[in-house]
Structure 1
């Protein structure tokens, strides 16, 4: 799911919906947890998400970098770039908010990404997670070629997950075999359940919840 921002009621309904789903291992939040990078915004969202029956993990969004948001995010959630493995799947989570760094050609950190992609120990498949997808104007355009080339060079990559644009998209915009997905903001009261298995295989289910219209 993506972009909780100020959608606190929707976040509560999201938690209730996820807790009713069988077989969920964990929740990935695609950034923009806050709207203005305020400590209280992170606190208000966490107070709701901590009621999930499974762990949740995050990537940093562009709104999370506003003001002191970067420091708050790191204090609450840890590194801006990190990786973990779960049941043979490697998840690479990284900061792609290039505009917030003045398009300094350093974000995302492609060298770090390439290093993680080449670390194949115990990995059957790989999923990359970020907030801003490379086809968006808030992604540093100078870094797009190297970033997409790094992903294209990983034959274990299942897909690239993003958020930021507040709607669902799926496709291969660079026509290179790499599938990019973006998900809804919680304002849309929709999220996705993704199941991955085998050789780059996945199933996607869209869940609609708590609608009052």
Structure 2
């Protein structure tokens, strides 16, 4: 009879237990491992964040009631993680804010890990946050990573009577193929006025920028000009604040600060028109 406590037997048993334990760890904790920095696999807690944030927003009453809507606008979080944490602390002290709009370039290199790191800061906001895709979010496998983490590249939602139309305007990242931004989709969104008193377009690259597809500039601007309910055009990309009317339309174009500027824009919109703009340092 073999001695079960002999050294060879113990080694065989320990080897079997170790292999089983290793397999169990791999099966139950595979989301803890990253096999490539460019992978697009995304843990469940970081998937479909646009849908999750929209559900949270639409379940909340408007903090300012029926007369007006207040939201924070900022852009280009990229590698500015310390600034993101300070941003959250500042926004959480502002009264009446319904949500945060982030105008693209969530990441710098289009990596899931970067988007996760930003979300790990922004999830501490007392309000939901919504994003659009920026040109840096397209780098390498970034487009797929952004869709996994956040969701659709073009989407819209209505809150407190205001429709927010969020779209991909990063034409250079598609080789100026004449399809981005999707002007037909934009026109359809602007034409749908059901339950809406005003509209806001949110994108990353503004139409006057060299990274916007030049063959789509005229039809894009025409679509904006033909939308009587359009109140604001918001974009990021330039990292600094500015307000202008580059095409002499009826709508102001507002560039937001990047996170590294340690300032953001807070907009309060009346239900029947008009807005008040504050720039807030943090």
Distance 1:16 1:164 in 2: 24
Decide which of 22, 37, 41 is 2:95's aligned counterpart. Answer: 22
Matched, 1:166 2:166: no
What SS does the aligned partner of 1:142 have?
Answer: helix
What SS does the aligned partner of 2:95 have?
Answer: coil
Encode CA deviations 1:148-190: one digit per residue, 9 max, x unaligned: 1101111111110001011111111111222111001000000
> Is the Cα contact below 8 Å between 1:156 and 1:200 reproduced in 2?
no
Distance 1:148 1:31 in 2: 20
Encode CA deviations 1:59-92: one digit per residue, 9 max, x unaligned: 0000000011111111111100000000100000
Decide which of 190, 204, 217 is 1:117's aligned counterpart. Answer: 190
| Larger Rg, first or second structure (1 or 2) | 2
Q: 2:148 is matched with which residue?
A: 75
RMSD of aligned Cα (Å): 0.7
Q: 2:47 is matched with which residue?
A: none
Shift in Å at residue 98 of structure 1? Answer: 0.3
> Is the Cα contact below 8 Å between 1:157 and 1:200 reproduced in 2?
no
Decide which of 239, 262, 265 is 1:192's aligned counterpart. Answer: 265
Distance 1:38 1:161 in 2: 25
Matched, 1:43 2:116: yes
Q: 2:174 is matched with which residue?
A: 101
What SS does the aligned partner of 2:215 have?
Answer: coil
Distance 2:200 2:249 in 1: 16
What SS does the aligned partner of 1:150 have?
Answer: helix
Uncovered stretches (5+) of structure 2, i.e. residues with no partner: 1-73
Number of positions where the alignment pairs a residue of Structure 1 with one of Structure 2:
209
Give the structure-2-normalised TM-score. Answer: 0.73
Shift in Å at residue 48 of structure 1? Answer: 0.3
Distance 1:123 1:176 in 2: 21
Shift in Å at residue 200 of structure 1? Answer: 3.1
Uncovered stretches (5+) of structure 1, i.e. residues with no partner: none
Distance 2:155 2:249 in 1: 25
Matched, 1:9 2:82: yes
What SS does the aligned partner of 1:114 have?
Answer: helix
